[in-house]
A and B are shown apart, each in its own frame.
Chain A
Amino acid sequence: MTGPGNGERAETGTPLLEVSDLVVHHGQLRALDGISLRVFPGEVYAIIGANGAGKSTLLRTIAGLHHPTAGSVRFDGRDVTGLRPERRARQGILMVPEGRRLFGSLSVDENLQVGASYARPGPWTIERVYEMFGWMRERRNQLTAQLSGGEQQTVAIGRALVANPRMLLLDELSLGLAPVVVQRIYGMLPEILATGLTVLLVEQDVSQALRVASHLQCLLEGRTTLEGRPADVTADQVEAAYFGLAPAASTGQAGEGSEP
């Protein structure tokens, strides 16, 4: 149970996103049990954890799709806990949902246009997305069902980008995609970050998350088990936090592929 206070973080100024003591129930189940986090501008903040740890619930609650029983979500200093998802989107919290969720009867171009319907002013336009992904312009009139999984995921990211988010929520980008494709998609992250947005992502693939994250938080059964910078946590700590083992029991072999 590592607490916060890993000094090195730029904790001056106000966090862009501040989640305090969030409790979310799915019926009787306590899916989130007092989660807090602070994401500062420009960070790539990764939430890791096993299946059912509450990662997606956390992201969906931040996006406004679940209503917390207790706790608050503040965005850019304002309390958005009671706002509907579409209001949060218009304020710049954009989520790329798990499973991509593209509009199946709309073309690639129309998907992007829907994404841009309530866009804030900013650097991203449909044209810029097409410049970044040349293939997308060529296939703009195709239905998204005709695209591969990786291409669909890219369109889903594009659909969020054209709204000019300040905070991009990425829910399990790697789900159902080949490792090469996952690498390529995460490879786009620096270019996206360069336009000045902040990323909060949820990822089951721990090694991938450690590779891109500037800060990480591990959830287990709705609680935080580890938090810190990837450089400051050891593979053993991550493994223990991920599976809920006794913390730092052994110092020996590293967990599979999760070296920072």
Chain B
Amino acid sequence: MAWVNAIIQGVLTGGLYALFACGLSLMFGVMKVVNLAHGDLAVVAGYIAIGVIAVTHIPVLWSFLIVVPVMALLGYVLQRTVIQSALDRSVLTTLMVTFGLSVVIENGLLQFFTANSRAIGSGLPLVSGSFRLGSQIQIGYLLVVVFAVAVVVLLGLQYFLSASRYGRLIRAVADDREAAQLAGADYRHVFGIAAALAFGTVALGGIAYGMYSQLSPTTGTDTILLFAFAAVVIGGLGSLWGTLVGGVVLGVAQQIGAQINISDELLAGFIVFLAVLVLRPQGLITRRAQS
């Protein structure tokens, strides 16, 4: 039963990891940017949520209504300015620029908010409550909700990309930027929209992680970015649903590792990550239609 419990917990954690990963995957798929500040932006979103809740006293759960648009806007602006000017030089420059962004964000957070950890909405029934299946399996409401949110986000992204005008343009620009320009598309604007989607989704991941665990200025790189990378690589680069598959595989591996020995939780996850890199470097899910 303990194993079943581990697997259920792992699957549900996969939803959280998918929220970390889908934006990273989208930005890489569309503009070949590996955003090393991705995790830090999730933390920024979490801190903004804490601030918004403290100032406006809106219910904790509704804070995303403010935080997600703010982060999406930040994504568009950062893409159109800092990241685009790095892209104009070379794709490699974006690695350095986003790494620099990561350092700046972390130190900014340390400066203004100290190294203390903060949690979001601790004490809420949703956050601390759980239900039982049988005698040994206990499932937290929060993870179930987060998993559902992740599925809804991925469905929404998929619908947007496949059926909307800008979704089509995002895919067209990812295929052939120059041909898209010849059709009248301003690829910088399209990149900005893709970045807004990425930042919006990782904002949800940051808030969810603040409720599930705690946020500190370094959580972005030592936890969120690493898990996002692992989920993207396991699932398959550029595949949207692959990030959920990758997140679930990572989550299950971690929980099984923890079941064997509590200190092996992270190790087990990264062993699976390395195994996928060696045995199936294209990831478990591959994108349709290479041309």
Contact = CB atoms under 8 A, between A and B. Distances in A.
Contacts of B289: 104-105, 143, 145
A162 to B, nearest CB: 9
A85 B172 contact: no
B145 interface: no
A89 B187 CA distance: 13
B172 A114 contact: yes
A102 B178 CA distance: 11
B185 A105 contact: no
B184 A118 contact: yes
Interface residues of chain B: helix, strand, loop or mixed (majority):
helix
B185 A118 contact: yes
B169 A117 contact: yes
B290 interface: yes
A259 interface: no
Given A117-B165, A117-B169, A143-B289, A106 B183 contact: no
A115 B175 contact: no
**Chain B: number of interface residues, binned into ranges:** 20 to 34
A64 B183 CA distance: 12
A78 interface: no
Interface in A97-155: 97, 101-106, 110, 113-115, 117-119, 143-145
Most buried by A among B181, B187, B287: B181
A105 B290 CA distance: 7
B182 A90 contact: no
B222 interface: no
A84 interface: yes
A63 interface: yes
A245 to B, nearest CB: 36
Contacts of A160: 182-183
B88 interface: no
Contacts of A90: 184
B184 A103 contact: no
Interface size band for A: 20 to 34
A114 B183 contact: yes
A117 B185 contact: yes
A103 B171 contact: yes
Nearest to A63: B182
Contacts of B182: 63, 65, 85-86, 89, 94-95, 97, 101, 160
A94 B174 CA distance: 20
Interface in A15-39: none
B160 to A, nearest CB: 14
Contact of B178 (A65, A104, A105, A143): A65
Nearest to B181: A85
B179 A102 contact: yes
Interface in A157-199: 159-160, 163
A84 B181 contact: yes
Given A104-B175, A105-B291, A143-B289, A86 B168 contact: no
A159 B283 CA distance: 34
A163 B183 contact: yes
A211 B173 CA distance: 36
Contacts of A145: 289, 291
B180 interface: yes
A89 to B, nearest CB: 4
Nearest to A89: B184
Nearest to B174: A105
Interface of A: 63-65, 84-86, 89-90, 94-95, 97, 101-106, 110, 113-115, 117-119, 143-145, 159-160, 163
Interface of B: 165, 168-169, 171-172, 174-176, 178-187, 287-291
24 contacts: A86-B187, A97-B178, A97-B182, A101-B179, A103-B172, A103-B176, A104-B176, A104-B289, A105-B171, A105-B288, A105-B290, A106-B168, A110-B171, A113-B165, A113-B168, A114-B168, A114-B169, A114-B172, A117-B183, A117-B185, A118-B183, A143-B291, A160-B182, A160-B183
